[in-house]
Chains A and B, each alone.
Chain A
Amino acid sequence: MIEAIPTQFIIIFVSMLAIMAFVGLNAVVLVYLERKIAGFIHRRPGPYEVGPHGILQPIADGLKLVGKQIFTPTGADSYLYWLAPMISIAPALVCFIAIPFGPHLQVINTNVGLILILAFTGINVLALCIAGWTSQNKYSLLGAARDVSQSVAYEIPLLITVLSIVFMTGTFNLFDIAAGQGAWPWQWYIVYQPLAFILFFICVLAETNRAPFDLPEAESELTAGFHTEYSGMGFAMFFLAEYAYMVVASCVIAILFLGGFQGPIVPGVWWFLAKVYIVLLVMIWIRWTFPRVRFDQLLNICWKWLIPLAVLNLLITLAVIAL
């Protein structure tokens, strides 16, 4: 008779599988949405050939990526080179365990949920750094260098804006933050903290390397940035990780500012997904609308505008709380 496996372990194991499925499914949906919305904005049909309205296009893309030759550049440290995409995707999956998808749908209701997410998303920088360094490609190296300075710079205003919400609610627990807001839009924290919302959104765009801050992979300058040399599933992992981080970021935005799973009539899970997807749609919309900023401008925005504004917002929040 073997000893019983701890229940907690089974829960985490099953939920990790569920999260991986969720991330995979989300990536499929997002790839399709991104291309269809890009098509809509460009006034072209977008993917249309594979399946009705091109609905099977992401699957065809996935199959193509799986079938590609795995290629390691000459002189690259192949161990680190292939470790990088894995380091990129793994923390993204961990982030999901702290996210309350609904009133009863959360893997671990932990008191440090927000810190956990911020800490694990920070690991991505390491992955991109390794990828850029081991690729033996100057463009990759430049992309990685850009990513490190960008991520380090933008984490500061991100944390400060998060702090203003935390001081307001008095907790790092994501469930409590979501539960503290009401069902209707005027009860959400976006109404109390509009500036924080804007700052947080800009920082999220920069942290997830989305346009107009997609400098680490600026294709017209650095060909493809840090993943220039990656082929097949190596590239697919980075791609998946990018979308996973987008979803994590949208989830956090939905929880902190848009009331999380709170909403009238239908169950909370649907409200949560709807809010997450609205945020994602806005991110896609921005990507296909704006040109890319220049690198020094990107850092100037952060150091000269976002950080002072975030600090100001925090001080105002503190003053209001103290009163």
Chain B
Amino acid sequence: MSSMELRLDTRGDYYARNFQPSHREGSLILNMGPQHPSTHGVLRILLEIEGEYIIRADPVLGYVHRMHEKMGEVMTYPQYYPNPPRTDYLHALAWNWAHVAAVERLMGIEVPERAEYIRVITCELNRITSHLLWWGAYLLDLGAFTPIMYAFDDRERIQDILQRPTGSRLTYCYYRFGGVSADIDHRFIEDTRNHCAVMKERFKMYKSLVTDNFILRKRVEEIGEISLETCRKYGATGPVLRGSGKAYDVRRAEPYSVYDRLDFNIPVYDTCDAMGRYLVRMDEMQESIKIIEQALDTLPEGDYILPKAPKRPKPPVGDVYFALEGARGKIGFHLVSDGGKSPYRIKLRAPGYSNLSLFSEVAQGTLISDAVSILGSLDLVIPEIDR
């Protein structure tokens, strides 16, 4: 090997070197990320481009790997409370819920009805904040700066509401084994009702201002078509799967909590493109509002946490899997207990990981602008993928 070749070979890191050798004549290797405005965090995508067309795309993960699973194995159960919400910081309560509910299922703890309703209300509010942020950030990717400001306006108000019972604004850690940490008061209920009414008006404005915009439709319609087959192959869930025409929602497929008593639709679009995923999320926010209003109407009185809930639980030997519907898809929490103070093994199933996996297949042959649009439409939260 000549010295020149050697120098070329030692350039870049492991991923770049393994990506480079097979590249085509006349193509350009582009590192998109880890610091790039539209990868939303520290996702890195190696692109091989010819002009503006993408020949190959390869996501590189692990820049914010924080060993959440390992941390779960060395910490006691209550010590692990704040960790799951920090994996997906946008839909923190869903992860909080997954952790709490897995332990509850393993120990056979019956959660009071009021606590279940509170969980549903807060989790759905959190889902709306997550989708709102996605909506704003996605349009930011497409070059429209203004919508994110409007999205944040609504999002801030929901955060104000959630701050009352939970005490935090982003990485909520509100659910406890056997219930929730604090009861909701009349002001929370009033504010939520008012805001739900406001949001319904806002959705009309969002539709007329953004969804019906000609340029936006040109940027998202028939872009990034993900067939149902591809979704199945990679295990994509959530709005990605529902945007491809499959009505799969864990809240309906494997009902948990009190979702089976609530009346809501699963928005499905079979266009398979970015617009389908966009519309699924827009509709989902409205469905969430429907759920919240129903839950508030039928909110029962009672304890918000089981009075005899174990403070330092020691679940029996065994393993348990609990799945729920997060804003990005199916969140899975697999927990193996050896009967000790801390779990033997924790496995987190992050929906974003599966959703990102299909990117390299879908991005092939598209333009860089389309790749940005596709990446945005998958709604990725990188800390959740890296865990």
Whether A294 lies near B150 (C-beta < 8 A) is no
Bound Cα distance from A296 to B223, whole angstroms:
13
CB neighbors of A among B139-161 (8 A): 139-146, 149-150, 153
Q: Can you list 7 A-B pairs, Cβ within 8 angstroms, ordered by A? A: A42-B150, A142-B368, A221-B372, A290-B213, A291-B216, A292-B369, A295-B369
Closest residue of chain B to A211, judged by CB? Answer: B143
A43 touching B369 in the complex, CB below 8 Å, given contacts A212-B143, A289-B146: no
Which A residues are in CB contact (< 8 Å) with B153? 43
Interface flags for A198-228 (1: CB within 8 Å of B; 0: not) read 0000000000000110100011111100000
Bound Cα distance from A254 to B217, whole angstroms:
32
Which B residues are in CB contact (< 8 Å) with A219? 37
Which A residues are in CB contact (< 8 Å) with B149? 42-44
A220 in complex: contacting residue of B28, B37, B216, B367, CB < 8 Å = B37
B219 CB-CB contact with A under 8 Å: yes
B30 CB-CB contact with A under 8 Å: yes
A42 in complex: contacting residue of B51, B140, B142, B146, CB < 8 Å = B146
A221 touching B38 in the complex, CB below 8 Å, given contacts A289-B146, A296-B367: yes
B23 CB-CB contact with A under 8 Å: no
Whether A291 lies near B52 (C-beta < 8 A) is no
B368 in complex: contacting residue of A221, A291, A292, A297, CB < 8 Å = A221
A53 CB-CB contact with B under 8 Å: no
Whether B369 lies near A218 (C-beta < 8 A) is yes
Which B residues are in CB contact (< 8 Å) with A290? 143-144, 213, 215
A142 in complex: contacting residue of B52, B213, B372, CB < 8 Å = B52
Which A residues are in CB contact (< 8 Å) with B36? 223
Query: Which 4 pairs from chain A and chain B are nearest by CB?
Result: A292-B143, A42-B149, A291-B144, A220-B38
User: Which residue numbers of B lie inside 8 Å of A, CB to CB?
Assistant: 28, 30, 36-38, 51-52, 139-146, 149-150, 153, 213, 215-216, 218-219, 367-370, 372
Bound Cα distance from A38 to B146, whole angstroms:
8
Whether A43 lies near B219 (C-beta < 8 A) is no
Whether B218 lies near A288 (C-beta < 8 A) is no
A293 CB-CB contact with B under 8 Å: yes
Whether B369 lies near A221 (C-beta < 8 A) is yes
A312 CB-CB contact with B under 8 Å: no
Bound Cα distance from A296 to B37, whole angstroms:
22
A138 touching B28 in the complex, CB below 8 Å, given contacts A220-B38, A223-B36: yes
Interface flags for A13-48 (1: CB within 8 Å of B; 0: not) read 000000000000000000000000010011110000
Whether A288 lies near B146 (C-beta < 8 A) is yes
Bound Cα distance from A297 to B222, whole angstroms:
14
Whether B142 lies near A292 (C-beta < 8 A) is yes
Whether A291 lies near B28 (C-beta < 8 A) is no
A295 in complex: contacting residue of B37, B52, B140, B150, CB < 8 Å = B52
Whether A293 lies near B372 (C-beta < 8 A) is no
Whether B144 lies near A292 (C-beta < 8 A) is yes
A295 touching B215 in the complex, CB below 8 Å, given contacts A42-B149, A214-B143, A221-B372: no
Closest residue of chain B to A293, judged by CB? Answer: B215
Bound Cα distance from A297 to B143, whole angstroms:
14
Which A residues are in CB contact (< 8 Å) with B28? 138
Which B residues are in CB contact (< 8 Å) with A296? 52, 367
Q: How far is the CB of B253 from chain A (nearest CB, A)?
A: 35
Q: How far is the CB of B287 from chain A (nearest CB, A)?
A: 26
Q: How far is the CB of B141 from chain A (nearest CB, A)?
A: 5
Which A residues are in CB contact (< 8 Å) with B143? 211-212, 214, 218, 220, 290-292
Bound Cα distance from A138 to B150, whole angstroms:
34
- Taking each of B38, B141, B145, B146, which has the highest tally of chain A beta carbons within 10 Å of its own beta carbon? B145
Q: How far is the CB of A114 from chain B (nearest CB, A)?
A: 31
Which B residues are in CB contact (< 8 Å) with A292? 142-144, 215, 219, 369
Whether A294 lies near B144 (C-beta < 8 A) is no
Whether B370 lies near A294 (C-beta < 8 A) is yes
Q: How far is the CB of A296 from chain B (nearest CB, A)?
A: 7
Whether B145 lies near A288 (C-beta < 8 A) is yes
Q: How far is the CB of B190 from chain A (nearest CB, A)?
A: 24
Bound Cα distance from A291 to B140, whole angstroms:
8
Q: How far is the CB of B148 from chain A (nearest CB, A)?
A: 9
Bound Cα distance from A139 to B145, whole angstroms:
21
